[in-house]
């Protein structure tokens, strides 16, 4: 209804932007008209999208997005190959890399178990994980602490149990700079649960 007065190609463009996550109709309109005013940038954008979709594949080893296979991390010579960190999404790899603290390898699941959405173990990049455990001494589960994430962690840890590899999970608790008063109950409960002796 909102697009009643736009020429068809403009309303199609607004609709295409609207379907992106976090982009409402107002933002979509702003972006569409911006590109119409700046054809150079529109060209750059379509080229960047096309090129990324063409060149970026999933690494056949870890499942991370990469333009070379295996990816730079999997083929990195300075990587600690005894450590394997399991994450949900390629962006989680970046988040961990930015800390500069982790030097091991990664395994990207591309999702979590979610029976509601019909996502079972077969829909995830899960079985390749079990074919790359040679030499690995510790699997670090860094899946997000959502209900589905926790279930996924549990599922993986159970599968890994017979293989006798150390399985750890990243700590959940109060974020640094966080405030007890404003933290939710579950986070505080997790922080208590994970308390350590000083």
* Backbone region of residue 171 per phi and psi (left: phi > 0; alpha: psi in -120 to 50; beta: other values): beta
- Minimum Å gap between C-beta 177 and a copy of itself is 18
Q: Which is nearer to a copy of itself, 53 or 116 (CB)?
A: 53
Q: How far apart are CA 162 and CA 188, in angstroms?
A: 32
Binding site for a copy of itself (CB under 8 A): 5-10, 12-13, 15-17, 19-23, 27, 29-37, 39, 41-56, 65-68, 71-72, 89-91, 93-94, 97-98, 110
- Minimum Å gap between C-beta 99 and a copy of itself is 11
- Minimum Å gap between C-beta 157 and a copy of itself is 26
* Backbone region of residue 164 per phi and psi (left: phi > 0; alpha: psi in -120 to 50; beta: other values): left
Phi/psi for 114 (5° steps) reads -150, 90
Q: Which is nearer to a copy of itself, 7 or 162 (CB)?
A: 7
Q: Which is nearer to a copy of itself, 25 or 128 (CB)?
A: 25
Task: Give yes or no for a contact between 111 and 148, defined as CB atoms under 8 angstroms apart.
Answer: no
Q: Which is nearer to a copy of itself, 74 or 160 (CB)?
A: 74
Helix residue ranges per DSSP H, 89-146: 90-99
- Minimum Å gap between C-beta 137 and a copy of itself is 24
- Minimum Å gap between C-beta 127 and a copy of itself is 20
- Minimum Å gap between C-beta 173 and a copy of itself is 23
Those residues whose C-beta lies under 8 Å from the C-beta of residue 142, and which sit 6 or more positions away, are 85, 86, 87, 92, 96, 169, 170
Q: How far apart are CA 122 and CA 84, in angstroms?
A: 20
Q: Coil, helix or strand for 134?
A: coil
Q: Which is nearer to a copy of itself, 44 or 193 (CB)?
A: 44
Q: Which is nearer to a copy of itself, 67 or 193 (CB)?
A: 67
């Amino acid at each position: 209804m909102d697009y009643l007065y736009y020429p068809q190609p403009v309303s199609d463009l607004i609709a295409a932007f609207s379907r992106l996550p976090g982009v409402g109709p107002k933002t979509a309109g702003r972006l569409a008209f911006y590109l119409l005013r700046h054809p150079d940038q529109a060209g750059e954008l379509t080229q960047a999208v096309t090129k990324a979709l063409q060149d970026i594949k999933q690494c056949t080893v870890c499942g991370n997005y990469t333009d070379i296979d295996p990816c730079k991390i999997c083929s990195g010579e300075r990587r600690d190959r005894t450590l394997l960190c399991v994450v949900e999404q390629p962006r989680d790899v970046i988040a961990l890399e930015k800390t500069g603290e982790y030097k091991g390898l990664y395994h990207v699941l591309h999702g979590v178990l979610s029976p509601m959405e019909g996502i079972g173990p077969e829909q995830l990049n899960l079985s390749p994980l079990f074919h790359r455990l040679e030499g690995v001494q510790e699997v670090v589960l860094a899946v997000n602490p959502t209900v589905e994430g926790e279930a996924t962690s549990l599922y993986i840890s159970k599968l890994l149990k017979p293989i006798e590899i150390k399985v750890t999970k990243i700590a959940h608790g109060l974020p640094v700079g966080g405030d007890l008063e404003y933290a939710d109950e579950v986070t505080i409960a997790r922080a208590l649960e994970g308390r350590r002796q000083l």
